[in-house]
Structure 1
Amino acid sequence: MLRFFLTLSLCLISLGLLAQNRTYTYLIYHKLSPGLTVQDALPVEREWRAVNQAAVDEGNMIGWYMMAKQMTSNPNPAEYDYVTVIVSPSMNIKGGSPAAMAKLYGDSVQTRMASLNARDRATAPVVKMEVWETAGAYAFSPDFTPEKAPVVVFNYMKPYDPKAPWLDIMDAMKAGATNRLKDGSLSGWAFSKLILPNGSEKGYSLLVAQIGTNPAAIANQLVFTGESAKAHTQSRQTFDIVRQEVFRVMEFTNRPGTTAGK
């Protein structure tokens, strides 16, 4: 499966500063070819970072991230090795303009992109892709950057009772996350629902992303007080965590006007 440019034609998962009320996150899962490691994938992903940075600079994309899997409760832990993430203001991913791509590759855009796609497939083919929608349920520290907070915990969930009004606790969960941003135990939080593909055989339909400096700080329940404790209790009573995974951000795009670490 080709990456990025093929997704443009699909017309269809957040981990960045979400400036819009509604954003779409593409989670693209990669399986390394036999004998290769994440380090072998970095040159390819760094080139994708440059391509996607052009789209971010033009405001066509909110962010792109490469996250290596550190831990998982997946009964098939070898299903994939890392995830690339595209955060978009719409379901249709829009890349960099022809002018931006020409600035990056000169008059060799088609040749260079064909080479990048071929190296991508040879290094770490895509084994699955999901599209998630985030509608207002997110909170990030004002100075958030993946360089300072590189750890991401994904809780893939489903409601115990799909017919119950579970959306009612979203405000409480956001308030609890905001409280944790103040005490520094979290740097970011987002709640998303699965859009595509969304079949019951997946076992989950919701996703909470928690972002921080290390897994211990994110998971430490001793820091849950006040709104945080209330939201945590309500969440555990309402949602079944079907799978939990821990990632480390390896590469990422920067927002226009910023540099890494600022």
Structure 2
Amino acid sequence: MLITRSYGQQPAPQRQYSEVMYHKIKPGHTLEEALAIEKEWKKIHQVQLDNGHISGWFVISKYLSSNPDRQAYDYVTIKNFTDFAVFGNSYPESHLEKTFGSTTKDKWADLLKRTGEVQEGIKVEIWEGVDAVWNEKQLSPDKSPIWVIDLMRVKDGKDAEYVAMEKDMKKLHQERIKMNNITGWNLAALKYPGGSENGYNYATVNYFGNAKEMGDTRYGEAFQKVMAGQDVNKLVSRIYQTRDLVRQEIYILREFAVKQPALAAK
């Protein structure tokens, strides 16, 4: 799906990955119950951030989706990391002990039990960051509560051309940031699991501060400023020659843990 920004980490690492888990709320339970459980998981992830095990953790709930199976999943958790070995050791014992203290075993078992009663993780994906641009003045994730995610299927043999096109479009997103239209944009590639049955293999995310900005993306205005004299129709044609837009989804940021203590406390 995406690579989210790792707040408080400068400079950005050469490579960054995201473990993206899709969650389905079980019958008889609510999103509010699931989010209450996620607040407890946040304590563990904050310890992992402080120890450099991960570089960010986010919870987003699905608001709109073009997916015809609208009940496929309800919310998503995203864990950023720079060392792929993290995926093989997601929750080191030392981090659990620092979170739970002397009753680690019982509290960890209880958290897993209560989590399983409310929701189930139905799918996991690993994404790798390709490119991104951010408003460096927007330091807190809660300044970007709306995420518009486009999931693309890049055509066979068109990967290099598609990525080059997105990198060329990056200046449009930079201009939109200057206009206070978006707070950030990123491009990610699906690393695992592969297979054409996924339907998509790349994703872009536009981050918005509010619904008004989302309603007016200001592409046309930005295009005239940074690509004056170019034919917008040719640009659109170039885009569709490299990929198909498989799905668009809109999410709302619900919870997060970041490296900076002030933001984490918030």
- Note if contact 1:173-1:235 (Cα within 8 Å) is conserved in structure 2: no
Residue matched to 1:33: 26
For residues 259 and 235 of structure 2, what CA distance do their matches in structure 1 show? 31
Residue matched to 1:241: 245
Counterpart residue type for residue 71 of structure 2: A
Secondary structure at the counterpart of residue 174 of structure 1: helix
Secondary structure at the counterpart of residue 113 of structure 1: helix
Residue matched to 2:193: 197
Residue matched to 2:135: 141
Q: Shift in Å at residue 154 of structure 1?
A: 1.1
Residue matched to 1:3: none
- Note if contact 1:31-1:80 (Cα within 8 Å) is conserved in structure 2: yes
Q: Shift in Å at residue 221 of structure 1?
A: 4.0
- Note if contact 1:173-1:232 (Cα within 8 Å) is conserved in structure 2: no
The runs of 5 or more residues in structure 1 that have no matched partner are: 1-12
Structure of greater Rg:
2
User: How many pairs are equivalent?
Assistant: 248
Residue matched to 2:40: 47
For residues 21 and 72 of structure 1, what CA distance do their matches in structure 2 show? 32
For residues 82 and 50 of structure 1, what CA distance do their matches in structure 2 show? 19
1:157 aligns with 2:152: yes
Q: Which runs of at least 4 in structure 1 moved beyond 4 Å after TM superposition?
A: 94-100, 228-232
- Note if contact 1:156-1:243 (Cα within 8 Å) is conserved in structure 2: yes
Structure with more helix by fraction: 2
TM-score computed with the length of structure 1 as normaliser = 0.85
Residues 110 and 232 from structure 1, CA distance in 2 versus in 1: closer, same or farther, beyond 3 angstroms? farther
The runs of 5 or more residues in structure 2 that have no matched partner are: none
Identity %: 27
Residue matched to 1:119: 114
- Note if contact 1:185-1:223 (Cα within 8 Å) is conserved in structure 2: no
Residues 222 and 103 from structure 1, CA distance in 2 versus in 1: closer, same or farther, beyond 3 angstroms? closer
Counterpart residue type for residue 14 of structure 1: I
Secondary structure at the counterpart of residue 16 of structure 2: strand
- Note if contact 1:60-1:96 (Cα within 8 Å) is conserved in structure 2: no
Secondary structure at the counterpart of residue 141 of structure 2: coil
For residues 213 and 114 of structure 1, what CA distance do their matches in structure 2 show? 38
Counterpart residue type for residue 202 of structure 1: N
Secondary structure at the counterpart of residue 116 of structure 1: helix
Pick from 50, 53, 59: which aligns with 1:57? 50
Pick from 159, 166, 170: which aligns with 1:170? 166
TM-score computed with the length of structure 2 as normaliser = 0.84
